[in-house]
Amino acid sequence: PGDRPCPHSHPRPCVKCGQGSAALLIRLGDAFCRGCFREYFVHKFRAMLGKNRVIFPGEKVLLALSGGAASSAMLRQVQEGLSRETAKRLRFVPGLVYVDEGAVRGQSPAQREQSLAHVETLLRATGFPYHLAHLEQALELPSSILRPGPGGPGEPNPSYKEAVEGFIQQQRQDGDDDGGTSLPGGTQELPPDAPRLPAAARTQELLRLFEAVETPTAREELLQMLRTHLILQTARSRGYTKVMTGESCTRVAIKLLTNLALGRGAFLAVDT
């Protein structure tokens, strides 16, 4: 996401294979061809998950999708990581969530319906359980949405090694029972949510809330807060223990500058 195209006026060889023509410049000017960059990108994604050991085998993870480049790349990496042809397969159970923000983006009800139908077609094609949510639903969330989840500071964390061994044993049992045709962790696909629009009164209430916010920075902060709360509520109500988001360098920069403008400099390390 923070990479830039290699200038066409000065073609350079790929620093990895030395044969292909450079298509991207990353880090401090390292030139990669498209094939080598893809391999590098896939390796970094899986190495990050394996090194941090944040996601345990068999754990349900909710992937937040917006349709942008960053979240689409994240989804593609997860799809390839779960493929049976992959040498080191990902071991978590993914689900998808899409938050409809059409009400505050100036879309008409007809446009929102059309966009939702298109998004649902794409989500269904992945084969993963998916959930459609509307930003208006954030107005109905309980005040306890930000309560600490399981695994707080005072609770002991389970052993990652024991979790891996248990997951492998469970996979073997599932393979003996059904020939290995189930989704990872034995989780079956959930019925999708219906893409119905909220009531007009609820949409007007949301619009009034955004109209009462005076500055663009504050409106962006409000939108991000409502979106995040809604995604967390979806994860908790559907049994997901982790949420994964696609963050580009541009998004991180926007968040950084927004927090500085709002006087939240002390929390930059946590927010970004």
Is the domain 54-146+190-272 a CATH 3.40.50.620 member? yes
Task: Say whether pLDDT at 217 is over 70.
Answer: yes
DSSP assignment of 81-125: HT-TT-SS---SEEEEEEEE-GGGGT--HHHHHHHHHHHHHHHHH
Domain ranges for the chain = 1-47, 54-146+190-272
pLDDT in tens, 138-179: 988 876 554 554 444 444 455 655 555 565 566 556 655 554
Say which range, 24-33, 39-48, 58-67, 121-130, has the weakest mean pLDDT.
24-33
- Tell whether pTM > 0.85: no
Burial readout 31-46 (b: 16 or more C-beta within 10 A, e: otherwise): bbbeebbeeebeeebb
Strands 24-26 and 30-32: antiparallel
Sign of the torsion angle spanned by Cα atoms 211, 268, 251, 74: negative
pLDDT in tens, 189-207: 434 444 478 889 999 999 9
So what's the pLDDT on residue 130?
95
Residues 31, 23: Cα–Cα separation, whole Å? 7
So what's the pLDDT on residue 40?
85
Say which range, 77-81, 84-88, 201-205, 209-213, has the weakest mean pLDDT.
84-88
Query: Look-up: residue for tokens 């349900």?
Result: 60
Contact yes or no for 82/94 (Cβ under 8 A): yes
Q: Which amino acid is at 206?
A: L
